Amino acid sequence: MKGILKKYGAWLAVAGLMASLLGGCQLGGKGTENHTAQASRESETGKEKNGQEAKEGSKEQEAKGRYRETLVDLPGEAEDQFVLQFLKGEGGRLELYTTEKDSQGNDTAVYQYVYEDGTWTKTEDWQGTAAAAEHRLELFCVEYGSDGAYYIGGVDKEDYRYHLLRLEEDGSATKLLEEVFAPREGSTYGMTPPKFQVLDDGNFLLYDYSEADIYDSTGKRLTAMTRDFSGYDRDSRGFCEGGEFVTFLDGSVVRYDRKTGKIMETIVCDEVKGGRDGAEILFGDGEGGIYLATEVGLSHVNRGGTMWEVLIDGNLNRMGMRSLSMRGFLEGDEGDFYGVYAGDLGKGIQICHYEYDPDMAAVPPSVLTVYSLEDHSTVRQAASQFQSEHPDIWVEVRTAAEDGQSVTEEMIQGLNTELLSGKGADILILDGLPAASYIEKGVLLDLKDIAAELESSGDMFNNILEGFKEEDGSVHMLPTRMGFPLILGGEKAVSAYSSLKDMTDYQGEKPLIPTDNYGNLLRLVATLQYKELFAEGKGMADRDTLIRYLESVKTLGDAGGSKTVFSQDEMEVNWVSNHVAPTGITGRSVLYDAGRSDSGVEFMDGYTSLLIPAEVRNRNPESKMAAAGDIYIPSSIAGINRSTANADMAKEFIRCLLSYEVQREELYDGLPVNKKALETIVETDRPYSEGVGWGDGYHISAPYPSLEVRREVAAMMDGLTVPVMLDETVMNMVTEGSQNYFDGKESVEQAAEGILRKLSIYLAE
Q: Which residues bind other proteins (CB under 8 A)?
A: 2-3, 6-7, 10-11, 13-14, 17, 20-21, 23-25, 27-32, 35-36, 38-39, 42-43, 268, 270, 402, 404-406, 408-414, 416-423, 434, 437-438, 441-443, 565, 578, 729, 732-733, 736, 745, 757-758, 760-762, 764-765
CB of 324 to other proteins, least distance (A): 27
In angstroms, give the least distance from the CB of 744 to other proteins.
12
Nearer to other proteins, 343 or 754 (CB): 754
CB nearer other proteins, residue 424 or residue 705: 424
Return the number of the residue (42 or 470) whose C-beta is nearest other proteins: 42
Cβ at position 643, least distance to other proteins in Å = 9
Closest to other proteins by CB, 275 or 442: 442
Minimum distance from CB of 323 to other proteins (Å)?
A: 27
Task: Quote the DSSP letter at residue 535.
Answer: I
For residue 405, the minimal CB distance to other proteins (Å) is: 7
Nearer to other proteins, 189 or 762 (CB): 762
SS3 call for 314: helix
Is the distance from CB of 152 to CB of 144 less than 8 angstroms?
A: no
Measured between alpha carbons, how far is 14 from 20 in angstroms, rounded to an integer? 10
Non-local CB neighbours of 497 within 8 Å, separated by 6+ positions: 487, 503, 528, 599, 628, 629
Euclidean distance between CA atoms 340 and 79, whole angstroms: 11
Minimum distance, C-beta of residue 365 to other proteins, in the bound complex (Å):
21
CA atoms within 13 A on the CB side of 257: 6
Q: Which is nearer to other proteins, 640 or 713 (CB)?
A: 640
CA atoms of 460 and 659, how far apart (whole Å): 9
Return the number of the residue (565 or 707) whose C-beta is nearest other proteins.
565
3-state SS, residue 159: coil
Residue 239: helix, strand or coil by DSSP? strand
| Complex with other proteins: residue 29 or 332, whichever CB lies closer | 29
Smallest gap from Cβ 397 to other proteins, in A, equals 14
Buried b (16+ CB within 10 A) or exposed e, 422-457: eebbbbbbbbbbbbeebbeeebbbbbbebbeebeee
Nearer CB in complex with other proteins: 436/707: 436
Residue 417 Cβ vs other proteins, minimum distance, rounded to whole Å: 5
Q: Which has the closest alpha carbon to 255: 225, 280, 285?
A: 225
Task: Please report, in angstroms and rounded to a whole number, the separation of the first and last CA atoms in the chain.
Answer: 60
Residues in the chain: 765
Whole-angstrom distance, CA of residue 96 vs CA of residue 35: 36
Residue with smaller CB distance to other proteins, 43 or 498:
43
Q: Cβ atoms within 10 A of the Cβ of 184, count?
A: 9
- Going by C-alpha positions, the residue among 94, 160, 165 that lies closest to residue 123 is 94
Which one, 60 or 69, has the nearer CB to other proteins? 60
CB of 733 to other proteins, least distance (A): 6
Closer residue to other proteins, CB minimum distance, 343 or 561 = 561
Rounded to a whole number of angstroms, the minimum distance from the CB of residue 410 to other proteins is 4
What number of other Cβ atoms are within 10 A of residue 11's Cβ? 10
Sign of CA dihedral 15, 18, 24, 28: negative
Q: Which is nearer to other proteins, 342 or 428 (CB)?
A: 428
Q: Distance from CA of residue 514 to its chain's centroid?
A: 30
In the complex with other proteins, which residue's Cβ is closer, 42 or 392? 42
Q: How far is CA 603 from the centre of its chain?
A: 18
d(CA 599, CA 490): 7
Q: How far is the CB of 79 from other proteins (least distance, A)?
A: 40
Residue 420, classified by CB atoms within 10 Å of its CB into exposed (0-12), middle (13-18) or buried (19+), is exposed
Nearest-approach distance from CB 182 to other proteins, in angstroms:
40
The residues with which 460 forms a beta bridge, in sequence order, are 674
Minimum gap (Å) between residue 22 Cβ and other proteins: 9
In this complex, which beta carbon is closest to other proteins, that of residue 267 or of residue 671?
Answer: 267
E strands, 419-531, are 427-429, 478-490
Which residue type occupies 369? T
Q: How far is the CB of 735 from other proteins (least distance, A)?
A: 12
Least Å from the CB of residue 18 to other proteins:
9
String of DSSP letters for 19-88: HHHHHHHHHHHHHHHHHHHHHHHHHHHHHHHTTPPPPP-SSSPPSEEEEEEEEEP--GGGGGSEEEEEEE
Q: How far apart are CA 561 and CA 517, in angstroms?
A: 9
